[in-house]
Structure 1
């Protein structure tokens, strides 16, 4: 495995002039040896471009890539010793499952006894042991993708294993099983794994560190709890969570936060209060999970008009309208327990919005 240091940018244009001309804006990041990482973001944000730069399928137009301190910017995937699993299965249909798994090892002259041992181990991990003698051509797409995953995992000498949305063709229940298997494999072998996905559940359950990307830029990198509790940008707050973070427009006026004509005086660290005062206008961010019913006229609660309360099964999803600064009306969503069953459309409720979980954003960026 390898430590991978990136200091790069990439444009598919010969002479880029503006940020919009870049598929990847300038990025400096280090993937530590043995770490499990995910590149998370919507389609077209640069995830696969970044992965292909790491693998050597694409040379960045600017900057460098280093493996364990060695510059590999111009090196091929073979020279970088990379294994890559793609979105759709890449296997040999004329071979058996066992032959497919063994091929990367035999191609490198690994002794037969080691090939058998490694193939057997990976096949057992992926529940492929009973299929080793079956031809791959007759298998379903999800089974073929399991073989493709196995081909990526069977080598233990690679610098890193890269996954480009590998569970796209897998049914939802098997996706959960394979994510768990990959996590177990990572814990056992401490492989350097980099996983591309647009699915936050996949990213947050698989990776120790998640890079959230938007429009060619890494907006925030960190563990799942940091992305959820303290989104560094409003995009991360929107993108992470189901539903995403609520954002309400606020203003600083006469030593207090004003929203919808009401004044709030939450406990703020001195530096945070000074930053909000200097900004004048800002956004108040609160997760649906942290909104709770409060007593009428509670000084830390926001009055809302209930639009609907839906029983989702494990929680109630409450959708409500709230007045912001400037007379605008915004939608607020809350995840609640059984107390939400008593709410009726059209009635006024009070939701606690200011507490230790509340975040504040100036120019879309978190203020601490």
Structure 2
């Protein structure tokens, strides 16, 4: 209690300094939105709390929230937090400037055939196919995973509200975890922050990762020349760690595959475990080490001149990044029982692995 009281006193003191410098906060209260921090938000980063509470506002993103924090447009108990990683406490008062906001249209429920991997009163896990967008945007107003989940949520108890725990890129397949209530989502966010949720992915890559097992520790940041891309940086950036294991390497098969493979590149089946969860992390990390994911249009290998070997041509023709969110391991946020959610490797990646002569015994290692 003394620590919490001291924290509030310090925040109030900082707030007085801030108001004295700005001289404007007291008379613009009508442009500030106040959020009371409850037990579900206790101990969570301030940027993640805002992202959860403001998800119905147009054009609100984590990057934009972090900019608001840097610009002093977010206050905790009347004072700007020192950084986006500042953790709020139950009873704190969070304020954010809301000038020029427009309400975001709520996603519509749409009937959709979804493959359910796990479901109980608190959680839902869906096996997302490649090509399905996770959340509506100005480019994809409907036909997304969330639209389908909202249709399913009509049968849930009153007060339920689906919220995603992380996202997958459009062309990445695999397990997506969804909380059914805000308190469950907040508990899962805390578990992620504490690295208590294991996320394992499977990828088919160019090359032969060496050593067989290892850790990629490379900071990531937005590409200054193309904000849609992520790049490795040695100037700040977000610390990013991926553990990997090489499960198999393409092997010579019986003729005529042996002749085709002899001139082709090597391909590998790799399992990755996220220690941190940055945008495009696995794709960028593997590419930076010289093992780009097959089919990755952004970070993958580009066609060289000349006629490619037959197996190389198969890899170049694969229509999406060969990356699959395979397994989630966690403690249930309500019962504390262990849960393991496994999304079977999709047919397109199985067929690609077979065509590239990756041993079938390797696929057994990532079987349900």
TM-score strictly above 0.5: no
Q: Which bracket does the TM-score occupy, shorter chain normalised?
A: under 0.3
Q: Which has the larger radius of gyration?
A: 1
TM (norm. structure 2) is 0.21
Higher strand share: 1
TM (norm. structure 1) is 0.21
- Of structures 1 and 2, the one scoring higher in RCO (CA 8 A, sep 6+) is 1
